[in-house]
């Protein structure tokens, strides 16, 4: 599922209004991205947690050439799934449709 398909799916929660669904989705994505980039942990109970973690400098290898080179230290995003998300994925459950 891509972003456009997700917006179409979310539109059912907004009485079929795709523009409103897109604004809501973009607001959530932008907020999570901005907070995570600032180093804050964003936890959504049952769904999961987004956080910024430090990755030390290390040696990496180009798989095509075998060349080894140094990769600088950096920060990367990390997502850890919540218990409800893990349980639904493990059981193969389908998500509930929105209430009107």
C-alpha 26/C-alpha 16 separation (Å) is: 17
Domain borders along the chain are 3-91
> Which tens digits make up the pLDDT trace of 25-39?
999 999 999 999 999
d(CA 96, CA 14): 15
pLDDT digits (tens, 9 = 90+) for 43-99: 999 999 999 999 999 999 999 999 999 999 999 999 999 999 999 999 985 666 655
* Fold (topology level) of 3-91: HU Protein; Chain A (4.10.520)
Q: Which of 51-59's residues contact partners 24+ apart within 8 Å by CB, and which partners?
A: 51/77, 51/78, 51/80, 52/76, 52/77, 52/78, 53/77, 53/78
Structure pTM?
0.78
């Amino acid at each position: 599922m891509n972003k456009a398909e997700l917006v179409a799916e979310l539109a059912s929660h907004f009485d079929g209004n795709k523009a409103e669904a897109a604004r809501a989705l973009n607001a959530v994505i932008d907020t999570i991205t901005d907070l995570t980039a600032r180093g804050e942990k964003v936890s959504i109970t049952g769904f999961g947690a987004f956080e910024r973690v430090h990755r030390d400098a290390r040696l990496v290898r180009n798989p095509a050439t075998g060349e080894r080179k140094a990769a600088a230290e950096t920060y990367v995003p990390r997502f850890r799934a919540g218990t409800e998300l893990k349980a639904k994925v493990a059981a193969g459950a389908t998500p509930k449709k929105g209430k009107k």
